[in-house]
Amino acid sequence: MNRVTPEMIQSHAGQRRKMVDEQLVQRGVKDLRVLEAMSRVPRHLFAQDSLLHRAYGDTPLPIGENQTISQPYIVGAMTAALGLKGEEKVLEIGTGSGYQTAVVAELARQVFTIERLNNLSRKAQKVLEGLNYMNIVFKMFDGTYGWPDQAPFDAILITASAKEIPESLIKQLGEGGKLVAPTGDTDNQKLVVLTKNGGRISRCELGACKFVPLIGRYGWSAT
């Protein structure tokens, strides 16, 4: 993608504000930094051309390869749960379209993002580079291994669901850090937050959700 012009972004500013007000604020997302970031990031640039008219709708969108962009509320709720202040090093498992990557990159010092599907990783990198994000590092690999040589991370975001959060990823969470992920089977999933304090892990649930499966060595099998 060529460098994105301000005009390309501004043309959908009203739709973004409406999305934030109606889909996030009214459902309880209160983190002002998250709301502002999602008012800036051009979601339509991460959607397939045939779905541009639905880019700011209250729904997930297919992006090919049996993957999706999560609905805006889920992106906002997961990002807000990380409690980012601006200096964090974040690990994202599942780059997908790159939309959530962009939102997190607006809020953290650096984002390390892993995608197992080469086609999606390349597309996302192209869009994100077009938007001039300089604090994102990309990797094409099995995300269930994490990124051990860059650990520990201040926050970890997993954008696909496994029965249990892989221990390999929990180990890479730094002291005081938060990990946000969906867990469960195909029909019954919950969004959970793990927090590491004093080397101990506490867990809370944010509510029901629906994600594609986390495929990999420590997730679901691809077959």
Q: Annotated active-site positions, please? A: 70
Beta strand 136-140 with 110-115: parallel, antiparallel or unpaired? Answer: parallel
Q: Contact, 161 vs 214, CB < 8 A?
A: yes
- CA–CA gap between residue 39 and residue 32 (Å, rounded): 10
Structure tokens at 83: 């409690």
Of 37, 113, 23, residue with least CA distance to 73: 23
Q: Helix (H, G, I), strand (E, B), or coil: what is residue 181?
A: strand
Rounded to whole angstroms, the Cα distance separating 170 from 90 reads 13
How far lies 21's CA from each of 15, 26, 73, 82, 199, in Å? 10, 6, 11, 21, 38
Q: With the CA atoms of 33, 39, 41 and 47 taken in that order, what torsion angle do they form, in degrees rounded to the nearest 10?
A: 130
